[in-house]
Every structure is written in structure tokens, then in C-alpha cells.
Amino acid sequence: MGKPTGFIEYNRSEFEAEEVKERIKHFNEFHTPLPIEQQKCQAARCMECGVPFCQSGMMIGGMMSGCPLSNLIPEWNDLLYRGCYEQAYDRLRKTNNFPEFTSRVCPALCEKACTCGANGDAVTVRSNEYTIVERAYREKKKKPCPPVVRTGKKIAVIGSGPSGLAAADQLNKRGHSVTVFERSDRVGGLLMYGIPNMKLEKHIIERRIEIMKAEGIEFRTECDIGNNVSAKEIMENYDRVILACGASEPRDIKVPGREAKGIHFAVEFLKSTTKALLDNNMQDGTYISAKDKSVIVIGGGDTGNDCVGTSIRHGAKSVMQLEMMPKLPDERSESNPWPEYPRVCKTDYGQQEAIEVYGHDPREYQTTVKEFLSDKEGNLTGAVLVKLNAEKDPQSGRMMMKPAEGSEYTVEADLVLIAAGFLGAQNYVAEAFGVERNARGNIAAEKGSHQTNIEKVFTCGDMHIGQSLVVRAISEGRNAAKETDKSLMGYTNL
């Protein structure tokens, strides 16, 4: 695949990022794609490695290695290199319903498992994917293709995040009549309100939704099943139901002073910014503002980083990001060999921006909050932080992060954003449909299955496997659609 000597002849070249001082003035995507001839050279770096780990999608060392969708990466890299753009897009869409999303927000598990990356720089798989799909849109190759024949079966998909959309897209292609229910005012779920504009501009989602509507999928917004819409009504009117509501129960920080005004969950903060941006270009002050505030972000993952980048764009006075765990090494350790996912320190766009704006890395490792401080009116004024040490728990034998005695110190804070992960699906949806939960708070299903304890009800995405990646959510949606289709028709060709 690709040019046999391409990985020797061409160096890795990535999309150029806009200068920090310029990009923090807006909320738009800030990377400039390479000219097509240069991108073809990047595709040419894909080598005939024999075993393409990039598309393996398997668990190694407890982490996913390669693409969970098993994208046909060497094939469309080769087609891009040869200038066969339409054929490249055809191969891409065989396994991925939404390459316009994954080419923007995926952490590129494929690149981490690329054979070129074992002893050098990996192939730019994600930017190759971006080039293929965006060219397809530009050249009108991505257009509605409604099914020729309808089966007469009706399916309700609850939730319009990446897993729900993938399930809906697959089942509609099969000829079933699909209705997607979304509790928010806009379709997209996590894609719309959980991921900032800088990573995924919302017209990209709307562009894809319009195609899905033209293909026959019905979208109903502001339908909160279990609250303003009855689950009983859904069960009576549809042949199958797929629950794809995400793992949206946030993990809280339960310490003294938690009730202070100015403490918010990360998704609440990010959603308020995106909604205000879309509704009125942030002119009416309806969002949670970080302007001129000392901000503390609790959590070191992608969502925490998004909070850092968003706070900087608001005009925050300062930003501190707390991470409970020690700093990861800058290079792979011997115990973390390729093609395992690299457990290394990643400095993402928000942290890069904080370093340039404030002059230092915002992250404080092995640190958590011991207490929140407030004034007489209950407004947040600061936080007492404490350092953590790794200690072996005598009962379980696991390493636990324990407070270091006498390490407390106080910092100023006007706004705290909790990005400490999620505990599973929200209770009321599960209760409304009568589906069982597992010990992790997710909807229960047999291993390798998406069928719940209720015959007509299936589940997928974060609601099924817990908080994960967009690319895994799409894979979940596709697999749930296949299982749902088989239960309806007795066989499946999905």
C-alpha cells in the first residue's frame, strides 16, 4: 500500500496550527490542512507492513490498540496517494459512518499502532482521513442515499450522540423507519454540547444531520424520555428501542464547602459556552463566564483540557488544572512497548495555550481539593489543596493516591470546573424502561451483546460500556444496529 519507499522519502508533516495569540481570540477550528499534493505524499508514507496494526482495534495491556472501527486504513491511504479520491471515500465510509467527526476529535489510536511509528514517525492517518472526507463534501460525492425499499419496521433511538447516530444511520440504510429522540434543543449529544467548537465546529454536525434527514431519518428534539415523553408510549409505538443516552452522570467532588456558588460540572460549563455561541454569538451573558476569574479545573483528561482552552478564550485571569495521578513519562517506558497505546505525557491544545498565555504549564500533578472556601454570601473565594502520594492499599493490594500529611496549601479561586469523569448512565432513563444496571452504573447486557433484560430494548455507546471515545461509540452503534436488525428480521446484512 502507498509508495513502497514513501516512509523513507517523506518526513511526517502535520496540519499547521494557528498561532496561540490569534486562535484564543475565537472559538473556531484552528488547523490549516496541507495542500493536496503534500497530503498525497503523507499518504505515500503508509508502508506495506504486512500486518496493519493500525486497523486492528484490539485490547492490548488493558487499552485499545488500533482503530475500533477496523477502518481499511492502508487501502484508502493508497487510494489517496494515487489520487483516486472517490474510491478512497468509498472505502472510508464502508466502516465509518462519520469520518468528518473522527478526523477532528479522535485521539488517533490508529497512529499509535502504526508500524512506521515503531521506530520513527507514524503515518498521518487522521489528517489523511480529513482530506478524503472533506474533498468528498466539496465535490458533492457525499450526498443523500435513501433506501429504495422500506421494511415497515419502526425503531426508536434514544440519544443523538455518536453511538445513537451511527445506529440510526445503519438501520435506516437497512430500510427500517428510524426516529431519533434528543432531550436537548439541538441534535448531536456529546458532539454538539460536550466537545468545544475549537475541535468540532457545529456546522459540521448540522451538515451531516441534514443528509440523514434527507435519507429519511426523523429527529425529534427536546424529547426527554422519562420526563416529558413517556417510555411506555415509545415501547407501544416502536418495534425496537435503542438506548444511547451516554454516561452522563458526572463524578462529584464531595468535600467541605462544595455548596459554594461558582462550582460547576465541566459539561455544564462547556455546554453553556457552545449554546451561547450558537444562539447569540455569546452576546447576552447566558453562559458560565471565566472572564477575569481565577479558574481551577479538576481533572486531567480531554474534558479538563477543553475547560482550560475555553476558559482562556473567555479571558480568565489564571487557570490551574489538578491531576490526581503522577506525571506520565515523556517517552514510552520499556513496560509499554509498541503497539500498545503509549502511556506518555500529552500536552494538548489548551495546556499549550496556557503555557504561552500565563507562562507556565497549568497542571498540578498528584494534587486534589481538600476544601472549598467561600465568603459570607456563599461565593467561592478559594480552595485548600493537598498533595497526594501513591500508597498500597492493605486490603486490596492496589496502589491508591492518599493525602500527604501537612502538604495542604490555599489558592485563590473564583470558578471551579469539575471534570473528574462520569459514573455511568443517569437513573431516570434506565428506570423508565425497566432495564437493569451493572456494578459500574451502565446498562447491563451479556458480554458481546447489546440486548438488555427487556426483549425489545438494546443499548450502545457510553451508556453500555462507560465513558469512552467517539470512535468507540460509533463502533458500538454499528454493532447494536446489527444485533437489532437481526432480532427484527431473523438475519442481518449490516
Quick one: 29 and 112 in the same domain? yes
For residue 323, list its beta bridge partners: 365
Quick one: 299 and 206 in the same domain? no
483 part of a folded domain: yes
Q: How far is residue 363's CA from residue 344's CA, in Å, rounded to a whole number?
A: 15
Quick one: 163 and 213 in the same domain? yes
Confidence at residue 1, expressed as pLDDT on a 0 to 100 scale: 63
11 part of a folded domain: yes
Quick one: 282 and 400 in the same domain? yes
Beta strand 154-158 pairing with 177-181: parallel
Domain count, the chain: 3
Domain holding 329, by residue range, is: 263-418
Quick one: 77 and 180 in the same domain? no
What separation in angstroms does the CA of 203 have from each of 52, 164, 370?
Answer: 34, 19, 41
Tens digits of residue pLDDT in 98-147: 999 999 999 999 999 999 999 899 999 999 999 999 999 999 988 999 99
Q: How far is residue 203's CA from residue 196's CA, in Å, rounded to a whole number?
A: 12
145 part of a folded domain: no
* Residue where one domain finishes, among candidates 365, 396, 418: 418
Is the separation of the CB atoms in 16 and 32 below 8 Å?
A: yes
The CATH number of the domain holding residue 206 is 3.50.50.60
What separation in angstroms does the CA of 418 have from each of 170, 300, 305, 404, 441?
Answer: 35, 10, 12, 22, 19
Quick one: 212 and 273 in the same domain? no
326 part of a folded domain: yes
Quick one: 386 and 439 in the same domain? no
* Residue where one domain finishes, among candidates 138, 172, 194: 138
Quick one: 330 and 455 in the same domain? no
Quick one: 293 and 160 in the same domain? no
The CATH number of the domain holding residue 85 is 1.10.1060.10
Confidence at residue 174, expressed as pLDDT on a 0 to 100 scale: 97
The three grid cell numbers given for residue 403, joined into one nine-digit string: 493525602
13 part of a folded domain: yes
Confidence at residue 396, expressed as pLDDT on a 0 to 100 scale: 80
Residue ranges of the chain with per-residue pLDDT less than 50: none
- pTM score: 0.96
DSSP output for 243-295: E------BPP---TTTTSBTEEEHHHHHHHHHHHHHHHTT-S--S---TT-EE
Taking Cα atoms as reference points, which of 208, 243, 199, 203 lies closest to residue 106?
Answer: 199
Confidence at residue 394, expressed as pLDDT on a 0 to 100 scale: 82
144 part of a folded domain: no
Collect all residues with Cβ–Cβ distance below 8 Å to 291 and sequence separation of at least 6. Answer: 314, 315, 316
Burial letters for 81-108: b for 16+ Cβ neighbours within 10 Å, e otherwise? beeebebbbbbbbebbbbbbbbbbbbbb
Quick one: 242 and 228 in the same domain? yes
